[in-house]
Amino acid sequence: MRFIFRKEGSCMTKQNQKAGALSATLVICAILARILGKFNVLLVPLALVRTMIYIGLYIGWGLSVSHRILQTQVRRYMIGVSFLTVFWFVVRSVKYFFVTDPVVIRYLWYWYYCPMLLIPLLSVFVAMSLGKPENYRLPKWARLLYVPTLFFLLLVLTNDLHQLVFSFPAGSVWSDADNGYAYGYYLVMGWIIACALTAFMIMLIKCRGAQRRKYLPALLLSCSIIYAFIYASGARWMQVIGGDLTAAQCLMFIAILESCIQCGLIQTNTGYDEIFKAGTFRAQITDHDHKVCYASADPPVLSAQVMCAADRGPFSLDKHTLLKSCPIKGGHVYWQEDITEITALLEKLEENREAIAESNHLAQENYRVRLEIHTLREKNRLYDLLQKETARQIRLLNDLFSRYNEEEHPKERRRLLAKITVIGAYIKRKGNLLFIREKTETTDTTELALCIEESFANLKLTGAECEADIPGGSKISTRDAILIYDFLEEVMETAIDDLRFVWLKARILTDSIILRLEVECESSLADFQNICESCSFEDGVWCLILRIRKAGGQT
């Protein structure tokens, strides 16, 4: 919440008085610039200065409204009014100082009626939005008010085609210096007056402020209407003292809306100081020097040191009271929180903390022990499974080690050692596949390729030529991967004594994988024909073909 306070007729009033005095001074300067211009004293420079004064006033008022008005839609429409007044002055300045073509000048004059029509309409929307929530949006039927407004604007802008708004003498240059008024002009002015009166009446009905001050917007509105008619009548005296329609009407529009704000017809974010003083929440608002500016009922006496401590974080005044601080524009706000219940709860928690901590420690220790036991059991189970699955190879490995220790011939020892490495690589890789099977039912062909490549690398120690080509990226069941690796191991063990060449090629199909194994050896591999899809022997080379489904069983 944003606080804008008035104190003893106070801070906000003084600011209003200063702003009003400054605005009045600028308006007087602008009027003096116009009067001097009438006597041809620096006509163009003073006119431009006067224009910049008015534009600066309206921009400043728009910025002021954006800070004072909280209701989103009201603020948006009033900023729109500020924009339209600036637009009006820009068009007027271009008309008088930057353009000489009569047609362009005339159309710039027509564009005066864009802000003249839209400002009263936006005032109606402002009035309809008063007292509504900040996210309030006007009903859809309210948009129908744009229809007559835009119609009248188009009527003015197309006046050259029909002269229903302004009429011009035949045979002369059409301009605002020599024109008459048709019935369309009075319709346009009637709509402008109707919107202005409607807006004022709605604000009057919704107002919660004092009745004695509501006359001011009505007086200003009346002055605006009277001025418009006198100006339209072409009275000479009005041309002398108030001949600048744009400046006069813009000032009137802004003055009417500002008077509605000052009279309470348009609610602003003010008057919260009394509410704050009546509060029982024991809060204080200070300036940057920690001097108390506003205080709620029964405020605590706080030293500057305590306030500074609260600025750094919540500060404990006593066992049951916490002082908090928050920076705001122009200073800080301090408030107290009763933490009696929290203190009691903390004491209770402190009493139970050690018991809970001990209980948690015991629970963690029990969990750790159970986890270690479970881990050891799982490791033992997997080791037992590996030993069971590779029992034949382990026996063969033990036999080879015994023969290696007994053998004295170096060449035969190297041959036995090569067999040992082949069997050892198989046991290692078979263990990896078994562990993978415990975690997932499928694996990538890359894992199978790694197993076979390691076995072939050790098989080369026997002097055999070995090659494998298994593309990765295809999923097969882990069970099938183990079956293929077991099959290859049995073939190698059968042919290892006279193996000269082995080649394995995998071909990836849409739903299956075909493995072609070619082995050049003297040993017979005919016993494997019941396992393979096909088994043939030609020119001393055995050709074995296996087929497995992707992520499926052997076909």
Hey, where are the domains in the chain?
Answer: 15-269, 273-338, 390-549
**Cα 393 to Cα 488: distance, rounded to the nearest angstrom:** 13
End-to-end CA separation in angstroms for the chain: 76
Which pLDDT belongs to residue 187?
93
**Which CATH code, of 3.30.565.10, 3.40.50.620, 3.30.479.10, 3.30.2130.10, is assigned to 390-549?**
3.30.565.10
Sort strands 331-338 and 283-287 into parallel, antiparallel or unpaired.
antiparallel
Question: Could you tell me which of 506, 489, 81 has the C-alpha nearest to residue 258?
Answer: 81
Cβ-based neighbours of 180, under 8 Å, separated by 6 or more: 166, 167, 168, 169
Angle of helix 445-459 relative to helix 410-439, nearest 10 degrees, comes to 170
Calculate mean pLDDT across residues 271-292.
71
When pLDDT is cut at 50, 70 and 90, the band that residue 9 belongs to is very low
Which tokens is 355 given?
């018991």
Beta bridge partners of 327: 332
Query: Is the pLDDT assigned to residue 212 strictly greater than 70?
Result: no
451 vs 340, more confident = 451
Which pLDDT belongs to residue 148?
94
When pLDDT is cut at 50, 70 and 90, the band that residue 3 belongs to is very low
When pLDDT is cut at 50, 70 and 90, the band that residue 147 belongs to is very high
Which pLDDT belongs to residue 41?
65
Which pLDDT belongs to residue 418?
81
Per-residue pLDDT of 362-415, as tens digits, reads 778 878 877 777 777 766 776 766 677 777 777 878 888 888 788 778 888 888
Which pLDDT belongs to residue 211?
53
CB 426 within 8 A of CB 455: yes
Helix (H) or strand (E) holding 469: strand 465-469
CB 292 within 8 A of CB 300: no
Which pLDDT belongs to residue 118?
93
Beta bridge partners of 315: 323
**Cα 548 to Cα 483: distance, rounded to the nearest angstrom:** 10
Which tokens is 388 given?
């069971």
Query: Is the pLDDT assigned to residue 525 strictly greater than 80?
Result: yes
466 in helix, strand or coil? Answer: strand
CB 551 within 8 A of CB 442: yes
When pLDDT is cut at 50, 70 and 90, the band that residue 5 belongs to is very low
Which tokens is 28 given?
């007087």
Residue at 449: amino acid letter: A
Beta bridge partners of 181: 166
Whole-angstrom Cα Rg for the chain: 49
pTM for this predicted structure: 0.49
When pLDDT is cut at 50, 70 and 90, the band that residue 474 belongs to is confident
Lowest mean pLDDT among 2-11, 145-154, 490-499: 2-11
What is the chain's mean pLDDT, rounded? 79
